[in-house]
Amino acid sequence: MPDANPSVPQADTLLTDDDRSRLEGWLAAQAGASRVAVTADGALGGAANHAITLDVADGPQAGRHACVLRAELAGRVSASIGKRREFAALSAAFQAGVTAPEPLFVCDDPAILGPDFFIMRRVDGLGAGFAVVKGDAPQADLARALGRQLGRLHRLTPATSGLETLAPPPDCPAQEAVHQFRDWIGDVAQRDPVLAWGLRWLHVNAPLPGAIVLCHRDFRTGNYLVKDGALAAILDWEFAGFSDPMEDLGCFCARSWRFRRINREAGGIADRADFYAGYEETAGRKVDPQRVAYWETAAYLRWAAIALQHGRRHSSGAEPSLELALTGRMLPEIEMDLLRHLKSAAARAVTPVERIG
Amino acid sequence: MRTGPDAFALLDIAAATLRRDVLPHLPPDGRYTALMVANALAIAERELRGLDESGRAMLLALAPLYGEDADAALCGEELATRVDALQHRLCIEIATGAFDGDGQDTLMESLEAIVRARLAIANPKAAG
């Protein structure tokens, strides 16, 4: 069964010898060093992640640094914001004290490697969803820590400096999300009544705009690292953007990312109460369970839209891949999770808001 | 007309051989890829065997919404066309608000039956 984000080592095709010497020259200039040596340590999980070691000869960053190079993919999904913006979001989060890999260098000069890329410090830990949720006891402390980190992230707003390059905040995050999903899903919504109903439900029940903050937008088990049972780093910032803070909470609790620990509603690791409590410690706001339920519905539609895009990348011949093909075939599973959620008490409590004017 | 063994038999023996003779000798990365291949073969086999049955289950879920009886005799291309037409009609009605007020419970039952019919091919374990 395909994991959405498998940690499968892939052939390391990014760094040829020529690439490496261009990269070394560029890094030396960036680091203010007379020389930087780059050692390729192989491909990592997730597409276009490469483990590298930098040996910086001198200057303020002198020393040996274990790093990850994240490069832009040719066939990225529509939700992805590109490496420069990803670097900006990660930098802002890191500076705000969020547990994430330290971002070091970003490059948008096509003469260096071709695609845009950035380099961040490498963090050790377990990431694969099934491995993280393993174990008989719930991991309340981990869920609470993740809640705290998310609360800290959500203190960043469109006014935070460094975030100017991100897309401007939407007037109404919920209606904006519905527009995007409609666009990504396209004419499949005229053939698949489950997707049609999901989109309609999101439209009819869209909450009025409230707080708008920097959201991770893929905040879920599988996208953070755990070391010795403790949170080591939050990864994969490539979808970050301004939205309703409850979007990230809904995503974290969605069935799709519980990795068969279906009764541990917070990411397959613990109860919602643990995760919510951690969030309220740092966020400066209360969790709104109705809004979370709304955004959980959105999480299924978003994942369905992404699975459809993956399937199309294969079927169109653009990127023939068994993994993409099988991800496309996950659609009914995602839809079953959506329907189970819509039948839940939490989703039934969501009602259309009274609109003025 | 056709040379035996047939497509079902070939898929069967290909999947069994992969699991029995190939998988045990693979390193972890190759194992993951081989499991994906096995999964793809299994889906293809279920689709070859069960597409009509799945279509009839979908027809059974959709027809009552329109006060029609599901025609159990339909199969193949005709069945697929009928199911597609009913799904399209339902999509339009949903999008124009026909289920915003009443009828949501009936709709949800139909949608669940439709998804179950598709899961019977894509991933029977997820239907439970």
The residues with which A122 forms a beta bridge, in sequence order, are none
State the average pLDDT for chain A: 92
- Contact across the interface for A200 and B100, Cβ inside 8 Å: yes
- Contact across the interface for A189 and B111, Cβ inside 8 Å: no
For chain B, the 3-state helix, strand and coil shares in percent, each to the nearest 5, are 80, 0, 20
Mind listing the pLDDT tens digit for each residue in B69-110?
Answer: 778 889 999 999 999 999 999 999 999 999 998 899 999 999
Residue B2 is assigned to a structural domain of this protein = no
The Cα–Cα gap between A131 and A138 comes to: 13
Residue A354 has a pLDDT of: 61
The radius of gyration of chain A from alpha carbons, rounded to an integer in Å, stands at 20
Domain with CATH 3.90.1200.10 in chain A: 129-348
Least confident among A43-52, B13-22, B114-123: A43-52
Letter for the amino acid at A44?
Answer: L
Q: Considering CB atoms only, which of A8, A190, A336 is closest to B32?
A: A8
pTM of the model: 0.92
Residue B93 has a pLDDT of: 96
Chain A, residues 183-212, CB within 8 A of chain B, namely 189-194, 196-197, 199-200, 204
- Contact across the interface for A191 and B111, Cβ inside 8 Å: no
Which of B46, B94, B110 to mutate to test binding with chain A, by most A CBs within 10 Å of its CB?
B94
Residue B23 is assigned to a structural domain of this protein = yes
Which of A72-76, A95-99, A352-356 is the most confident on average?
A: A95-99
Residue A166 has a pLDDT of: 95
The residues with which A270 forms a beta bridge, in sequence order, are A266
Residue A6 has a pLDDT of: 37
Letter for the amino acid at A199?
Answer: L
The Cα–Cα gap between A317 and A78 comes to: 18
Tell me which of 2.30.130.30, 3.30.300.280, 3.40.50.1820, 3.90.1200.10 is the CATH number of domain A129-348. 3.90.1200.10
Can you tell me the mean pLDDT for A151-171? 96
Task: Give how many domains chain B has, as a whole number.
Answer: 1
Residue B71 has a pLDDT of: 81
Partner A contacted by B89 (CB < 8 A): no
pLDDT at A49 over 90: no
Can you tell me the mean pLDDT for A204-233? 96
Using an 8 Å Cβ cutoff, are A166 and A89 in contact?
yes
Least confident among A67-76, A124-133, A272-281, A296-305: A67-76
Residue B62 is assigned to a structural domain of this protein = yes
Residue B35 is assigned to a structural domain of this protein = yes
Q: Considering CB atoms only, which of A193, A200, A330 is closest to B114?
A: A193
Domain with CATH 3.30.200.20 in chain A: 17-121
DSSP calls for B113-127: HHHHHHHHHH-GGGG
Can you tell me the mean pLDDT for A339-349? 93
Least confident among A11-20, A58-67, A240-249, B32-41: A11-20
Residue B109 is assigned to a structural domain of this protein = yes
Can you tell me the mean pLDDT for A12-30? 86
The Cα–Cα gap between A337 and A265 comes to: 13
Letter for the amino acid at B78?
Answer: E
Environment class of residue B102 by beta-carbon count within 10 Å: exposed (0-12), middle (13-18) or buried (19+)?
Answer: exposed
Q: How far apart are the first and last CA of chain A?
A: 49
Residue B1 is assigned to a structural domain of this protein = no
Mind listing the pLDDT tens digit for each residue in B23-78?
Answer: 999 998 889 999 999 999 999 999 999 999 999 999 999 988 887 777 888 999 99
Residue B97 is assigned to a structural domain of this protein = yes
CATH fold of the domain at A17-121: Phosphorylase Kinase; domain 1 (3.30.200)
Mind listing the pLDDT tens digit for each residue in A165-200?
Answer: 999 999 999 999 999 999 999 999 999 999 999 999
CB atoms within 10 A of CB A96: 17
Using an 8 Å Cβ cutoff, are A153 and A143 in contact?
no
DSSP calls for B58-99: HHHHHGGGGT----TT--HHHHHHHHHHHHHHHHHHHHTTTT
Partner B contacted by A58 (CB < 8 A): no
- Contact across the interface for B99 and A200, Cβ inside 8 Å: yes
pLDDT at A80 over 90: no
Chain A, residues 325-354, CB within 8 A of chain B, namely 325-326, 329-333, 335-336, 339, 342-343
The SS3 of residue A70 is: strand
Residue A251 has a pLDDT of: 98
Residue B38 has a pLDDT of: 95
pLDDT at A221 over 90: yes
- Contact across the interface for A323 and B36, Cβ inside 8 Å: yes
Token pair for A325: 């093909």
Partner A contacted by B90 (CB < 8 A): yes
Q: Considering CB atoms only, which of B39, B95, B111 is closest to A194?
A: B111
- Contact across the interface for A1 and B123, Cβ inside 8 Å: yes
Mind listing the pLDDT tens digit for each residue in A310-333?
Answer: 999 999 998 899 999 999 999 999
Residue B16 is assigned to a structural domain of this protein = yes
Residue A275 has a pLDDT of: 98
Query: Which positions in chain B touch A6 (Cβ < 8 Å)?
Result: 32
Environment class of residue B2 by beta-carbon count within 10 Å: exposed (0-12), middle (13-18) or buried (19+)?
Answer: exposed
Using an 8 Å Cβ cutoff, are A206 and A178 in contact?
yes
Comparing A142 with B30, the larger pLDDT belongs to: A142
Using an 8 Å Cβ cutoff, are A118 and A103 in contact?
yes
Using an 8 Å Cβ cutoff, are B50 and B121 in contact?
yes
